[in-house]
Structure 1
Amino acid sequence: MSERMKQTNYKIAKAEADKVDEIIIDTIKEGVSFRVEAGAGSGKTYSLNRVIEWIQANKWSEYHKKKQNVVCITYTNAAVDVIAERLAKDSFILPSTIHSFAWSAIKQYQSTLIEIISANESLQPKEGNFSKIVEVQYTLGHRYQENGVLYLYHDDVIFLFNILLDNAKFRRIFSDKYPLILIDEYQDSFQSIVNRFIEHFISKGIGPQFGFFGDAWQTIYQSNKACGLIEHENIREIKKGSNFRSAPKIVETLNFIRPDLPQRSAIDDFEGEITVITCEDYNGLRRVERNFKDDLPVEEFQLRLSKLKDQIKNKIMSPKENLKVLMITHRVLASQQGYDKLLNIISDGLRDKEDAFLLFFMNMVEPIYEALNTNNMQLLFDTLKVKRYPINKKSEKQQWKELHEQLSLSRSQKSIDVLKTVFNSNLIPIPQSIQGYYELYYSAPETMYSNTNIKDFLDLDYAQFLAAIHFLYPESEFSTEHGVKGEEYDNVVFVVSRGWNQYQFEKYAPMIKNGYPADKEAAFIRNRNLFYVCCSRPKKRLFLFITIPIDDTFYNFLKELAGESNIVSYSQFLAKEI
């Protein structure tokens, strides 16, 4: 094949993507609100960054003169940091999570906030006298009062922001301050906020211009009151149709699942593979528990999955490629991996890597311990974010040696013991939120933390955190299907099994082609979205490992999805000459 022909896929896909980016920028120039519907692998983040760069280069004088800000709202603090790194320190573009943005927009109205809260008991802490409150703050995301200050819970901030958005005077000030609001991962935005943006601004053609970037089919956090697809006649739809992640065969599968947003693969050097591996060859007794009915017994499941991984690693993928196994829920993994108690407490904070303690242990304590354990000074520099050598004096060397010894001991104890070691060392920078809760552990141990109290939370064995951290690191082979949105891997084993009654792919996936009953719409969308997300993660190969019985309807769907020749039993797959 000639060099020109080898580049065809990429050249065409890149040209189409560049054209879409130009359309987005032209739409911003027009002042029209828009929605960029960006399917999996289409380069949504690249487009958002191009827009941000264009705004920085072309809107500085206009917005700076009026003391206005462009806001870029994104779903996680990690995403905020990525965007912030691309901006000048004095940039008028403000990257923020929705909670931080909402608070920055309302915090100056202290008397109004106190008035609203005093009229609503559900916003007041159960203990203490609210009449003595003189100030409202939002720091730790936990509701309590101390020294005349009421500290808000995360949801309180959203509730108060919504109330102020219903106030015409606030909206005028808000519109003057923020002429353009960009929202990344729009589909996961709070429905209540989006409704108000549409009602008060978009439907009337006034106020800020909105740019929504995301993918309605990647709405998988519906328990978080996510809005999903945003549609309005005053919102222009812009579709991205290129796929820079997946090989043509994978993209062909995605187009079968989602024909209304057809994609073109930009990959030229690998055609891609999809294989369905069934367990119809298993003749033993299957599970009878409610959420696992008809699934393989645990031991058989683990044995088959282990051998399946070995077959893929040893006979199919190259040593340079990676493999990810996607399973239905943290609940299934947590009991096997040893972090079930932690999951029961922080739940979404674990899934979204947003819990303050998890992040502190994962991104600070454990890398420092690893650096000290292996004498890796570069890792120590990088973790501490310092430029000078942190160990210059003999006394400093002794301090770090003692920290290493004490961490070696406390890591086998409770989480509070690890924190105590860190605090006593005075060597590691500690976030304000960690500092606050550490003090509350001793001064007010009954203070609520998620669905427990701070004492019970920090009295968890540190081993729970270690197990979760091992699971969350990128090199971990396992992940939940909910936890991989935005991720990509060379090879993916998508396990279709039992474990959570909200997800029954064998029932709902065929409805993608056959239609669904009106009373099952919510369940269908929930299952369809997660099925799509999982199928769109691989760059090269997708393996659907189905551990439950397959009826005719599901089999016919799989046959259309992958081709009958690509459906094999587990024993056939292991015996197959590759």
Structure 2
Amino acid sequence: MSEAAAADADTIMQACLNLADPKSFFLYAGAGSGKTHSLVEAIRELKSRERERLTFEGRRIAVITYTNAACDEILRRLEFDPLVEVSTIHAFAWCLIQGFDNEIREWLRIKLPQDIEKIEGELARSRGDNKTSRENRRKLQSKIRRLENLDEITKFIYSPTGDNRERQALNHDEVIKLTAAFVSERPLLDVLVDRYPVVLIDESQDTHAPVMEAFLKVQQLAKTRFCLGLLGDTMQQIYGHGVTRLDKAIPGDWLKPEKIVM
């Protein structure tokens, strides 16, 4: 990759982060291309221009990464600036939906019967008493009890480890599905855009497909006041839950700079 090409990609990326005229982008960045450096420098440049405005309005820059180690590295490079919120997709998703207890309850009121029906079908097809059937029976009883006690839950919590099996505890999968269902609809859409005018997603090719598709929808609905920046390498999809051929899902009016090691 030539220095000129790298500089052009960085310049485009930084120009997109404009609160007055936001432009969404997909930065194609291969391994060893300096993607994290570009991300950090773009955020630093935005902070230098807009710190006063963001602080006055109580808004922050959101960065979503795939691992806690990546979060820690970006936070360290940004000197733990409170103006930038760096988190994994699960932590960010819970931050968005936390407190929407009535909406979560009604979503579960629809989802739990679907789960129960699916498990009952699996048990009907199972042969004999084995480890899988015993686990399915346990899950079935748990979901039935949760559905029966749903109206007693006044406040939901998030259990990142899954160790908390109380009725009000949401697991990883539920938080992702809830966010995907809620974020592109009001009022959560406005909560997201008003709180985070810029959302940057690193390793975007591995971000859970339902959430990524919802973020893309948010951007199309609020493109004049919201910047969505995706960084990643579509050739390096490690996990199977990302959007297949993410580059093909990017809207035509997005900018698509590239950082490729030659």
- Equivalent residue for 2:128? none
How big is the alpha-carbon RMSD for the aligned residues of Structure 1 and Structure 2?
A: 2.4
Shift of 1:62: 1.4
Distance 1:96 1:176 in 2: 18
CA contact (8 A) 1:188 1:226 kept: yes
Selected match of 2:258 from 196, 219, 239 = 239
Taking structure 1 as reference, are residues 166 and 204 closer, same or farther at Cα in structure 2, changes over 3 Å only?
A: closer
Taking structure 1 as reference, are residues 72 and 227 closer, same or farther at Cα in structure 2, changes over 3 Å only?
A: farther
Residues 306-331 of structure 1 show CA distances to partners (whole Å, capped at 9, x for unaligned) of xxxxxxxxxxxxxxxxxxxxxxxxxx
CA contact (8 A) 2:159 2:172 kept: no
Selected match of 1:14 from 3, 13, 17 = 3
Selected match of 1:191 from 169, 194, 209 = 209
Shift of 1:105: 0.6
Distance 1:200 1:139 in 2: 27
Compute the TM-score of the two structures, normalised by the length of structure 2.
Answer: 0.78
Distance 2:202 2:80 in 1: 21
- Equivalent residue for 1:113? 104
CA contact (8 A) 1:143 1:153 kept: no
CA contact (8 A) 2:62 2:84 kept: yes
Shift of 1:194: 1.9
Distance 2:95 2:10 in 1: 30
1:35 is the counterpart of 2:35 = no
Amino acid at match of 1:219: Q
- Equivalent residue for 1:213? 231
Taking structure 1 as reference, are residues 103 and 46 closer, same or farther at Cα in structure 2, changes over 3 Å only?
A: same
- Equivalent residue for 1:55? 46
Query: For structure 1, which runs of at least 5 residues remain unmatched after alignment?
Result: 1-11, 244-262, 264-578
Larger radius of gyration: 1
Shift of 1:165: 1.8
Selected match of 2:246 from 229, 245, 255 = 229
Amino acid at match of 2:6: A
CA contact (8 A) 2:177 2:211 kept: no
CA contact (8 A) 1:194 1:227 kept: no
Shift of 1:142: 1.9
- Equivalent residue for 1:79? 70
Distance 1:63 1:211 in 2: 18
Taking structure 1 as reference, are residues 91 and 204 closer, same or farther at Cα in structure 2, changes over 3 Å only?
A: closer
Identical aligned residues as a percent: 29
Moved over 6 A (4+): none
Amino acid at match of 1:46: H
Amino acid at match of 1:211: G
Shift of 1:117: 1.6
- Equivalent residue for 2:94? 103
Distance 1:86 1:55 in 2: 15
Compute the TM-score of the two structures, normalised by the length of structure 1.
Answer: 0.37
Shift of 1:90: 5.0
Aligned-partner SS, 1:102: helix
CA contact (8 A) 1:142 1:153 kept: yes
Q: Higher relative contact order at CA 8 Å, sep ≥6: structure 1 or structure 2?
A: 2
CA contact (8 A) 1:110 1:135 kept: yes
Taking structure 1 as reference, are residues 201 and 143 closer, same or farther at Cα in structure 2, changes over 3 Å only?
A: farther
Q: How does 1:156-175 map to 2 (within 5 A)?
A: 156-175=174-193
- How many positions carry a matched residue from both structures? 229
Residues 445-482 of structure 1 show CA distances to partners (whole Å, capped at 9, x for unaligned) of xxxxxxxxxxxxxxxxxxxxxxxxxxxxxxxxxxxxxx
Aligned-partner SS, 1:173: helix
Query: For structure 2, which runs of at least 5 residues remain unmatched after alignment?
Result: 117-138
